[in-house]
Amino acid sequence: MKAFVKETSTVVAVPGVNCDTDQIIPGRFLKADRAQGYGQFLFHDIRRNEAGELDPAFPLNREGAERSTILLVEDNFGCGSSREGAVYALVDHGIRAVIGPSFGDIFFNNALKNGLVPVRLPAEHCDELADYLARFPDAEVTVDLENSELVLPGNLGRYPIVIDAFARECILQGLDEIEMTFTYMEKIKAFETERMASHAWLAR
Amino acid sequence: MAHMNAPRTMLAKIWDEHEILRHPSGPSLLYIDRDMIHEGSFHAFADLKRRGLKPRRPKQIFGVADHYVPTLGRTSKDAASPAIARMIDTFDENMEWGGVRHFGLSSRSQGIVHVVAPEQGITLPGLTIVCSDSHTSTQGALGAIAFGIGQSENAHVLATQAIWQLRPKTMRVTINGTLGQGVTAKDVMLALIAKIGAAGAGGHAIEFAGQVVRDMSIEGRLTLCNMSIEAAARFGMVAPDETTFAYVRGRNFAPNEQEWDAAVNHWRQLVSDDDAVFDREVVLEGADIPPMVTWGTSPEDAVSIEGRVPDPSTFDNADKRKAAIKSLEYMELAPGTELSGLKLDKVFIGSCTNSRIEDLRAAAAILKGRKAKIQAIVVPGSTQVKEQAEAEGIAAIFREAGFEWRDSGCSMCAAMNGDVVGPGERCASTSNRNFVGRQGPGARTHLVSPAMAAAAAITGCLTDVRRV
């Protein structure tokens, strides 16, 4: 996992409440190997017209959008399927942080495992930011994970980034979680031995 | 420790029993009793191989091919495309490589993972169960903590048999009284999601309670918990009771008769204490719930079948207004349109929400002696459900009504195996998601119960099941 410390970028606002993971990446692209790069499938069906061409009206297709590494989204972003492909598509496209009022729980976890920072910001502040970006599309936002702070442009202020301390530490260091859990293996095994004594049928 | 004597919820009790340790910074390292995997797991297996690891506890891992399997034919050669066939073959290869017991296409135990796991006794009260599928919440119906994970977390579980998790908050959904005629668990869930919203239970585990739930069969409870993810809940759960014990007894991977009494005694202690406190409470009156149908592109866009497509301009929230306008454009529906009578192109009965034997019985009861006016397919949730339905004569009723009787799999719910609703086509579906493009690019989905789907098939339009 790529470590995340601090990121400053222009922002692309992707509209729509309850943007589900089927929108982020349609199911038919999930057969691809990760090595192919999932970025090409990001928002595939809502980003392209029926002929498969990029729709210039979709925010991510606007000129300059390719430089943005931060997305602004609406409520319940990433709901629906647990497919980690949704996060792969964002990450492979170059997105490093997603700011929104709330996220699907599984999406939120998947993001953290891939170095993508989901920032929860109350809806009214998301709206203020969206309005500001509509007027100043070149405005930059800083996601400062090291100081747990979201720095908005103009006079929009600073807000705390709330991610539990454990996940924050992992992502700040780009920690390999499996390697880290292996350091607790004696505890896992001791727990397991006890559990199997009373639940022998579990490992039959 | 004094807090151990404080009243606890079922979630807290099962969680505490599985907590190996709590990290000083918050999350628990939870022991995972069982990990269910399907074809999407190829990312997790690639990760294991890259690290030179193998599944640590293969006997506690179970594989089922479901998302990509053909429903016309039972080999990967019958798959809709070579790329889809490769997903099925890769899955079999990974299962062999990892020494994981699996129910491949040729197995009589194959089916949709969330149908197979309860059926086989893999899902049991008091367990922690994960699966890289959001509808793992289904399995909480038997009194387990069961939740969906991504492939990174799946690799972690395969390698360690544990997972780092923050304990969710708790929400009790109490459904009082009894349900009206023609009203099912599916309608209860659509009514709940319409009430609290698709983000309504975010960060919470739902415990379903009340007379309606106590009276409900295991099939109905599985449907409730299945769709708790559509309200953004982390899990859905129902307290284990006599109905649960009767259901799991004697199943393949359940405790045997010598172990049974001790297991049941333990399971009885897992129910929430009378005075346990939940972070949120939601109450529905069973008698107030009508047969439901969705009009939009989120499960929260649900109303009574006697209702009309709402007028977005009457919504008080600007985001909801915008979303509804977009939804109606996609669904090609005008505000004020009566839902009953809306013409359909297809009917799909299946998915981990509604493909169990009771669902098929409910649909067949409506179909008996009648004919479908539009294309309709039934995809049983498992090969066992299929065989049982054939033995009971249900398959014959479907066939005589003009339904296609298929082999089991996720089929037209996930639309990954080639079974799709065509662009612009309108489908009454017993699945769980009416998302844009979910059943195929341009597909328009109306979520309904199995009985409602059967009624729709015979009239060719959305229909109040109480009137057929």
Confidence of residue B375 (pLDDT cuts 50, 70, 90): very high
Tell me the pLDDT of chain B averaged across its residues.
97
For CA atoms B44, B45, B49, B53, the dihedral sign is positive
What mean pLDDT is predicted for residues B447-457?
98
A185 to chain B, any CB pair closer than 8 A? The answer is yes
Tell me the pLDDT of chain A averaged across its residues.
96
CA–CA min distance A62, chain B (Å): 21
**Up-side HSE of residue A181: CA atoms within 13 Å toward CB?**
25
B441 to A45: CB separation less than 8 angstroms, yes or no:
yes
- Every domain of chain B and the residues it spans: 1-289, 292-467
Q: Given this model, what pLDDT does residue A180 score?
A: 94
To the nearest 5 percent, what fractions of chain B are helix, strand and coil? 40, 20, 40
Q: Given this model, what pLDDT does residue B3 score?
A: 57
A200 to B259: CB separation less than 8 angstroms, yes or no:
yes
Closest partner CB to A184 (pick from B21, B322, B414): B21
Domains B1-289 and B292-467 share a fold: yes
Residues B153-212: tens digit of each pLDDT: 999 999 999 999 999 999 999 999 999 999 999 999 999 999 999 999 999 999 999 999
| Residues of chain B found within 8 Å of residue A185, distances taken between Cβ atoms | 160
Taking the C-alpha atoms of residue B347 and residue B349, their distance in angstroms, rounded to an integer, is: 7
- Residue B127 scores a pLDDT above 60: yes
Taking the C-alpha atoms of residue A52 and residue A45, their distance in angstroms, rounded to an integer, is: 8
**Largest alpha-carbon pair distance within chain A?**
65
Q: Given this model, what pLDDT does residue B238 score?
A: 98
Closest partner CB to A188 (pick from B68, B161, B254): B161
Q: Given this model, what pLDDT does residue A1 score?
A: 85
Residue type at B7 in one-letter notation: P
Q: Which of B86, B421, B438, B439 to mutate to test the interface with A (most CBs of A within 10 A)?
A: B438
Quote the tokens at residue B369.
């002696």
Quote the tokens at residue A122.
């109350």
Residues B34-86: tens digit of each pLDDT: 999 999 999 999 999 999 999 999 999 999 999 999 999 999 999 999 999 99
What mean pLDDT is predicted for residues A149-157?
97
CB contacts < 8 A, A to B, total 172
What is the ipTM score, two decimals?
0.97
DSSP letters along B136-195, please?
GGGGGGGS-EEEE--HHHHHHHHHHSEEEEPPPEEEEEEEES-PPTT--HHHHHHHHHHH
Residue with tokens 């059926």: B119
Asked: is B1-289 a CATH 3.30.499.10 domain? The reply is yes
Q: Given this model, what pLDDT does residue A59 score?
A: 96
Closest chain A residue by Cα to residue B165 = A109
- Residue B1 scores a pLDDT above 50: no
A61 to chain B, any CB pair closer than 8 A? The answer is no
Taking the C-alpha atoms of residue B322 and residue B273, their distance in angstroms, rounded to an integer, is: 43
Residues B419-436: tens digit of each pLDDT: 999 999 999 999 999 999
Taking the C-alpha atoms of residue A48 and residue B105, their distance in angstroms, rounded to an integer, is: 35
B134 to A15: CB separation less than 8 angstroms, yes or no:
no
Q: Given this model, what pLDDT does residue A50 score?
A: 81
B160 to A30: CB separation less than 8 angstroms, yes or no:
no
Q: Given this model, what pLDDT does residue A166 score?
A: 92
CA A81 to chain CA centroid, Å, is 14
Assess contact for A1 and A171: CB atoms under 8 A: yes
| Residues of chain A found within 8 Å of residue B129, distances taken between Cβ atoms | none
**C-alpha separations of B94 from A181, B89, B186, B402, B417 in Å:** 23, 9, 35, 39, 19
Closest chain A residue by Cα to residue B147 = A106
Asked: is B292-467 a CATH 3.40.630.30 domain? The reply is no
Residues B86-96: tens digit of each pLDDT: 999 999 999 99
Taking the C-alpha atoms of residue B450 and residue B363, their distance in angstroms, rounded to an integer, is: 5
